[in-house]
Amino acid sequence: MQGLIEKELSSQDKILKPDFNSKTGRELLAFYLQTKFKQILAYDKKYSMPIFREINPGFIPKFSKRLINTPDKRFLISITGESAAGKSTICHEIAKVIEQLSMPVTILSTDNYFNDISTLIAKYGTFDNLRDSGYDVDAPSSFQLDVLKEDLQDLADGLDIKCPRYLPNGTGISVPKSIDVKSSKIIIVEGIATMYDDVKDVFDIKIYVETDNDVRKKWFIERAVNERNQDINNALKHWEYILNAGEKYVKPYRNNADIIINGKADLKYFAQILEYIHTITNNFQ
């Protein structure tokens, strides 16, 4: 991929920068991006560990139509997948590349839209006790989906928002309108709530991160024990919960995804793909 980036930068055969204010210019840009995206896919197929597992056949024409007809709206990209599939790791890599390339991108986590369950936790003593009582933390009803949808629509229209902050300290407290979120040209939203029925159609590009269960379990247990100070028995109990919740709430939305990517992908290679996309969208004559 680094070779493609260098070839693009050194090439003397570049197109004139289209006039994005005209429909003709946007049509030219859409055709150009289609060609380059197909080039990325062809390269990826030959890579030792491809990042792209599946591409929805209707994605490229849908994306092109969106680019041509509604250029003023921000681009909203969702990244979803089962717990411990690698969503956050991929978003951290995106954030790192964004900082290096000064790209106009905002990253938002739907974990901040969990309901306030502080009263329930106080009643049952701990979050684990609440979960064991039958509270379904990953169910759509456990999220503030109405607030999330309204915030996403505002961001798409170019409006900055203040999103809630869910405190990850076991108290279950959600603080409304607590985090400033800028409406950048591209907005990436990570979390399982992005593909629930009330919000999934807001997104222009829907990405599903997929990782084998044995790898997910290893990652989940390591994170629970090393980062969240959970004992191994409780971590295993919670793993059984998220395994079942993923089958029930997340995997059914896999078929709605535009792009399915490998959660075990080489992050250096993934960063090079992002750099290449940045290069081709900013390397006009």
Q: Give all domains of the chain, ordered by start, each with its CATH number.
A: 1-51+266-285 (no CATH), 73-264 (3.40.50.300)
Structure tokens, 96: 């790192």
Sheet holding 205-210, edge to edge: 52-55, 259-262, 205-210, 75-80, 186-190, 105-109
Q: List Cα–Cα distances, 113 to 141, 164, 179, 217, 257, in angstroms.
A: 11, 6, 11, 25, 21
| Whole-structure pTM value | 0.89
* Confidence band, pLDDT 50/70/90 cuts, at residue 6: confident
* Gap between the Cα atoms of 214 and 236, Å rounded: 13
CB 48 within 8 A of CB 265: no
In this model, does residue 285 exceed pLDDT 60? no
Q: What mean pLDDT is predicted for residues 257-276?
A: 88
Cβ contacts of residue 149 below 8 Å, gap of 6+? 198, 199, 202
**Strands 52-55, 259-262: parallel, antiparallel or unpaired by DSSP?**
antiparallel
d(CA 282, CA 17): 9
Instruction: Convert the pLDDT of each residue in 99-158 to its tens digit.
Output: 888 888 899 999 999 999 999 999 999 888 998 898 998 999 999 999 999 999 999 999
> What local confidence, expressed as pLDDT, does residue 97 receive?
86
As a whole-number percent, the residues of the chain with pLDDT over 90 amount to 47
Instruction: Give 24's pLDDT tier (boundaries 50, 70, 90).
Output: confident
Query: Quick one: pLDDT at residue 259?
Result: 93
